[in-house]
Structure 1
Amino acid sequence: MPEGDAVRRTADRLDRALAGQVLTGSDLRVPQLATTVLTGASVERTATHGKHLLTRLLPPGGTPLTLHTHLKMEGSWRVIAPGARWPGPAADARVVLRTERAEAIGFLLGLVELLPTADEQSVVGHLGPDLLGPWTADDEATALARLTAAPDRVLGSTLLDQTVVAGLGTIWLSEVCFVQGAHPRSPVASVRDPLRLLRRARQMLRSGLEHGQPLTTGDRRNPVWVYRRQRQPCLRCRTTIEAGPVGEAGRERTTYWCPRCQPA
């Protein structure tokens, strides 16, 4: 599943193509919206909260609307020139938005819904603070309180919980735990400085957004410390990297760690 920085890059790509433009056509290929017509609406922008995309529309003389989409595991948004060949099967398209200068197609989107922009909190209000958002002092305090609310909970499971903090996935979970020296399968209470962990997570996502890829080591030849490096030597101490599941039952995800740099 794309992580917060990848979702923000998707939103930026949609903004470059659609923001400030008027829709000359639309096709919402989900049953509950199959008869909805958005032609004539102007596109304000696509905002994000964690892994959620919020494309804000201004219909002529109507109520501002938000097209809420989520990529889940397989979804993507692709932007092409009008009339160009689609970069995926038509059967996989869930949303099509056309303007005079571009066409945006959402393939295999895991979620598509349309709601008044004023009601956006009904779909993202339950989420934790967005690591790529404005990140005020209140956001930081809220994230810290949610992270430490259940000290016996597994750290990796807690960080993947989007209601705690929004935007982290398995890449950044693995990397921030390594840099923090925290084992992802240890309890939250074992983290020596949870506020520093959150700040590092935010820095990593912002770096990923800036560089267009994870680059936690600073070396493009070996860009990550532990993610997907199981059975390879740790770049810091040469101990063999290990991997294992974290997450709630039925929704486990694989994470990675160095048993020496991150003792359990």
Structure 2
Amino acid sequence: MPEGDTIHQAARRLHTALAGHVVTRSDLRVPKLATVDLTGRTVLDVTPRGKHLLTRIEGGLTLHSHLRMEGSWRLYAPGERWSGGPGYQIRAILGTAERTAVGYRLPVLELMRTADEHKAVGHLGPDLLGPDWDPGRALDNLLATPERPLGEALLDQRNLAGIGNVFKSEICFLLGTTPWLPIGELSAETAARLPALSKKLLEANRDRPSRTTTGRDLPGRRLYVYGRAPHPCLRCGTPIRKAQQGDGSRDRPTYWCPTCQRGPAP
């Protein structure tokens, strides 16, 4: 599931493959970009911002993409068979003489002036893996609505950028609180731990092929709670529970241990 750690990995792969190379094939398969041709322009860099990808291209242009739940960028060598899904799911193709980047199932794809990137990502809070990371500002953002459930506050990218459903559930477990606890009810000590813990988890997984929050690289043991219902908690043995969180407009599966985590829950 794409979150801040995997977006940084994707940006690094794309940057290594494309930056400094001239686009020899350009195909943007969304209606508003159907006539755009980027061939002949050089890719300058690929930069992550929270869960967004910014591919900057010669001429002051930026191709902005967001993967959400199912999108992906795949890289292929010349002649290599594309295997990211059926052709009708392809939304973008950026090819150079040496590599071709193919974007599958991209729910967000837009071309903008690089000077206007703020229109796409300017609303984001401090990026947990970015140069703008500011733990104090992130905590102030989170505590600005003390009545809001902790899990929802963590997912709000305006507070801090990079956390998705997986890290939300894992952070709440490690703090010992349910995702439904109003964030204003955290103890001062727990609240103070929150930004540093969040950053630590994402940084620990920024370069890992398999995400883990337990420190174990074994199937079924990499995460404390996410995706583990109804298996026993790795700490206490209580069956992990699962419920949806939020207003129902998005799929927000949330996992927690009813013994290890205090606070309200469905």
User: TM-score scaled by structure 1?
Assistant: 0.93
Distance (whole Å) between structure 2 residues aligned to residue 147 and residue 230 of structure 1: 28
Is residue 161 of structure 2 the alignment partner of residue 166 of structure 1? yes
Residue among 161, 170, 177 paired with 1:175 = 170
Is residue 149 of structure 2 the alignment partner of residue 142 of structure 1? no
Distance (whole Å) between structure 2 residues aligned to residue 89 and residue 241 of structure 1: 36
Letter in 2 for 1:151: P
Q: Any residues of structure 2 matched to 1:236-251 within 5 Å, and which?
A: 236-251=235-250
**Structure 2: unaligned runs, 5 residues or longer:** none
Aligned match of 1:89? 86
Deviations 1:147-166 (A, max 9, x none): 00111111111111111111
Deviations 1:238-261 (A, max 9, x none): 222112121234225111111121
Letter in 2 for 1:21: H
Structure 1 SS opposite 2:235:
coil
Structure 1 SS opposite 2:196:
helix
Aligned match of 1:19? 19
What fraction of aligned residue pairs are identical, expressed as a percent?
48
Is residue 36 of structure 2 the alignment partner of residue 40 of structure 1? no
Residue among 126, 132, 157 paired with 2:152 = 157
Aligned match of 1:202? 199
Is residue 112 of structure 2 the alignment partner of residue 104 of structure 1? no
CA displacement at 1:178 relative to structure 2: 0.8
Distance (whole Å) between structure 2 residues aligned to residue 16 and residue 252 of structure 1: 33
Letter in 1 for 2:243: G
Kept in 2: contact 1:157–1:248 (CA 8 A): no
Q: Count residues with an aligned counterpart.
A: 258
Distance (whole Å) between structure 1 residues aligned to residue 20 and residue 177 of structure 2: 45
Kept in 1: contact 2:9–2:207 (CA 8 A): no
Residue among 212, 215, 219 paired with 1:215 = 212
Distance (whole Å) between structure 1 residues aligned to residue 242 and residue 131 of structure 2: 33
User: TM-score scaled by structure 2?
Assistant: 0.93
Kept in 2: contact 1:160–1:247 (CA 8 A): no
Structure 2 SS opposite 1:101:
coil
Letter in 1 for 2:259: R
Distance (whole Å) between structure 2 residues aligned to residue 56 and residue 11 of structure 1: 11
**Structure 1: unaligned runs, 5 residues or longer:** none
